[in-house]
Amino acid sequence: MELKQIDKATYKKRLNQVQFGAVGALFVLGMGLAEIYRALWADGESSTLLNAAGVLTAVIILAGVFKMIRDKPWMEDIRYTWQLKQELNRIYRHVKFVDAGVAENDVDALKAHYFSLHGSKHLYQIEDNTLTVPELNEKIADLDKKLAELEMTLAISDYEPWLLEEIKKKYK
Per-residue pLDDT, 43: 84
* Residue that finishes a domain, picked among 69, 87, 115: 69
Residue 88, in any domain of the structure: yes
Residues 108 and 144 in one domain: yes
Per-residue pLDDT, 61: 97
Residues 83 and 156 in one domain: yes
Confidence of residue 113 (pLDDT cuts 50, 70, 90): very high
The count of domains in the chain is 2
* Residue that finishes a domain, picked among 69, 95, 117: 69
* Residue that finishes a domain, picked among 46, 69, 92: 69
Residue 87, in any domain of the structure: yes
Per-residue pLDDT, 12: 95
Confidence of residue 151 (pLDDT cuts 50, 70, 90): very high
Residues 99 and 148 in one domain: yes
Angle 139-141-145 from CA coordinates, rounded to 5°: 115
Percent of the chain clearing pLDDT 90 (strictly above): 91
Q: Mean pLDDT, to the nearest integer, of 6-22?
A: 95
**Segments forming the whole domain that contains residue 121:** 79-171
- Alpha-carbon distance of 24 to 97, in angstroms, equals 42
Which of 61, 15, 14, 54 has its CA nearest to residue 34?
54
Residue 31, in any domain of the structure: yes
Q: Mean pLDDT, to the nearest integer, of 113-136?
A: 94
Residues 51 and 86 in one domain: no
Q: Which residues contact 134 (CB under 8 A, 6 or more apart)?
A: none
Per-residue pLDDT, 46: 85
Residues 108 and 64 in one domain: no
Percent of the chain clearing pLDDT 70 (strictly above): 100
Residues 102 and 51 in one domain: no
pTM confidence score:
0.85
Per-residue pLDDT, 45: 85
Per-residue pLDDT, 14: 96
